A and B are shown apart, each in its own frame.
Chain A
Amino acid sequence: MTDQLRLKSFNLGKFVIEYLVFIAIVLLVIITAIVEPRFLSAENFTNLMRQFGPLSFVALGMTFIIVGGFIDLSVPGMISLVAIISLSLVDTIGEIPAILVGLALGAAMGCLNGTILIISGASTQAKALFITFGMSQVYGALALIHTDGTSMNRNLLEHEMPLTRVLGSGMLGPLSVSFVVFLFFLTVLYIFQTRTFLGRSINYTGGNIVAAELSGIPTKRIMILIYAICGFMAAVSAVVLFSRVSVTTPTVGMNYERDAIMAVVVGGTSLLGGRGNVLRTVLGVSLVVLMSNCMNLMGVQSHLQEVVRGAILVIAIWLDHRRQ
């Protein structure tokens, strides 16, 4: 009888640790709906889908980096540079080619990050942290140089941007267009991660890079691949971001790496690598976006919101440690 009780309480503890983010989301929704009933309105649902946009794409890309056992702090610089370069090309080559150039640039920057890590012999998260931070400074400074520090307003461009407008504020039935695009990428990346050898190899590499190498997995190629995915997703995020707001500053990507890492870790992907997937990240992004929305609706001041964000990150890392 005592053993049964112990077993039950153990399982409950494990359940809480495993599904805390889900429990937190449910609690947050219930509390906010009681305090502010308009939280459940259709208008807020649309807002949430739109606010979900830019962060969710970065977080999907960051998932592969963290599962692979690395980290990427170059995201803010990549987002800023892609947004600025794409917008500055619109009048010259048109909207769609400019967006395609931006996406290619993002993937290229990601490839370069991976290559630099390999050349530098960076095989740990700590080394990747410093190198990618440096790369973020490079990309960010280039965005500043390109615009002389000034912002770009897509409403002031000569060329019309119909696709961008649809992406930023269009609806497909009850869903925002950016959310539909997100679902597309989520499906593709989930299938890639769970149903392909290359996708599973990322988990093996993050779990134990030496063992992965010994078992014939091309870990260097995996490194380039995950950074390329992250760069590409950062570029998608940049496009969604400048679709959402008409004014783009050369520092528009600031803080996205922090929120993306938080969303990935909160979702349950291990910071040590090897464990986690994009579906978990969706939960993490949901919590980060919901939290911000709920606190705004409840009138919580921005200073306190930052405290809550920081506390959630600390709790997520503690939980990650407990899961190990």
Chain B
Amino acid sequence: MKKTLTTLLILIVSISLVACGGGSAPAPAAPAESAPEAAPAAPANDAPAAPAEGGQWKAGFITQAMSNESQAFSWREFQRLAPEYGFTMNMWSGETGPQDEVAGIEQAIAEGYDAIFVNPSSIESIIPALMQAKEAGLIVGMFSSELPEEHQNLRDFFCGSDDFQGGQQAGEFVVTHFPDGASFVEVGGQAGHDAQIKRHDGFRAGIAGSNIVELDSQNVPGPWPTNEAMAIMEDFLVRHGDAINIVFCHWDNGASGVIEAIENSGRKANADDGIFVIGVDGNRTGYAQVRAGTQALSVGQSFTNMAKQSLENAKTMLEGGTVPAVNFIPLDMVTLGSIDSFVEPDW
């Protein structure tokens, strides 16, 4: 309640500021410039959030969008963990495009940062900026997204889960559960996104040589919207009806839309006698759906461990040590049988 009132208060103050600043020219208030100190998870393209006190090294988190909740959670974890490893941290997000991420890297170079952890929205757009960072002597850690092989000399290490492996594990899981074969549809993530492509390819690798047959596959146009996943699943159900045994959805929130579509159609989303739904992420929604029995598997990524490993690697390198170039953070196979062995996520 208090938080709601605070939000409404900020809304009124922001609008008053805009109104008072009115003239003949439009002068909208950019939230990124006023919000980040109050809430670090807000988009902060130009003005990074205040660094934590007491760190001896400076590190920047350059990420694709704070509107992506996994990235908002990662930033929170970076802030929480940074002091332990002797870092102060700032964040830049590419909310309006990769140019913001490039500007963030340039600012980090100009301000003499020691390390940057980068999860770009567009790998190709960020390459020239990473070259500058390397020339300036910054430690470059790729976070969750890996560079293509020909550019891997531009980063010192990569920490993240392997999206291909995630898709593959999901595929293998399906093969184990349907030894006699079954038919699947795929509700893919944001079209063209690195994770969408790798999860798609990985799943195919996982089911290769089995009797698991693809009926249909469609990606969502925007940044992982639940309602689009639901609409796609509704259309799949019309087109393929009861022929669908399995749904591979690239993200857990999307899987919730898939489950609603299945239930609204009078069918059941259930591992035993309904449609077998698989999601990726291992977030709160995924866990809840696995517990409820409507989602058979959530392939979980641990952003906490990714942040921890990134900070540890940077620290080791700053102290003169060496680290492995590729650091895959193990994926959790969250099912009804295994769910209690994992730490409940809070994102």
Contact = CB atoms under 8 A, between A and B. Distances in A.
Contact of B39 (A120, A122, A148): A148
B256 to A, nearest CB: 5
B191 A302 contact: yes
Given A141-B35, A255-B222, A296-B218, A133 B4 contact: no
Given A150-B347, A302-B221, A130 B226 contact: no
Nearest to B43: A141
B18 A116 contact: yes
B243 to A, nearest CB: 12
A144 B49 CA distance: 15
B43 A246 contact: no
Contact of A246 (B26, B71, B191, B256): B256
Interface stretch (A18-26, A40-48, A186-194, A206-214): A40-48
Interface in B5-30: 7-8, 10-11, 14-15, 18-19, 22-30
B178 interface: no
A47 B32 CA distance: 38
B67 A138 contact: no
A51 B264 CA distance: 13
Contacts of B73: 149-150
Nearest to A137: B31
Contacts of A292: 231
B11 A119 contact: no
Nearest to A171: B264
B191 A142 contact: no
B239 A297 contact: yes
Given A130-B26, A155-B288, A244-B227, A138 B253 contact: no
B218 to A, nearest CB: 6
Interface string B23-62: 1111111111001001101110000000000000000000
A301 B31 contact: no
Interface string B174-185: 000000000000
Interface string B201-244: 00000000000000010111111011100111011111101000
B14 to A, nearest CB: 5
A59 to B, nearest CB: 16
B1 interface: yes
Contacts of A246: 226, 256-257, 260, 285
Given A148-B72, A249-B67, 15 more contacts: A85-B4, A120-B24, A137-B32, A138-B18, A141-B31, A141-B43, A150-B72, A151-B69, A169-B264, A244-B230, A245-B257, A246-B257, A296-B236, A299-B216, A299-B218
Interface of B: 1, 3-4, 7-8, 10-11, 14-15, 18-19, 22-32, 35, 38-39, 41-43, 66-69, 71-73, 75-76, 191-192, 216, 218-223, 225-227, 230-232, 234-239, 241, 253, 256-257, 260, 263-265, 283-285, 288, 292, 347
6 contacts: A88-B3, A137-B29, A138-B14, A156-B288, A244-B260, A252-B226
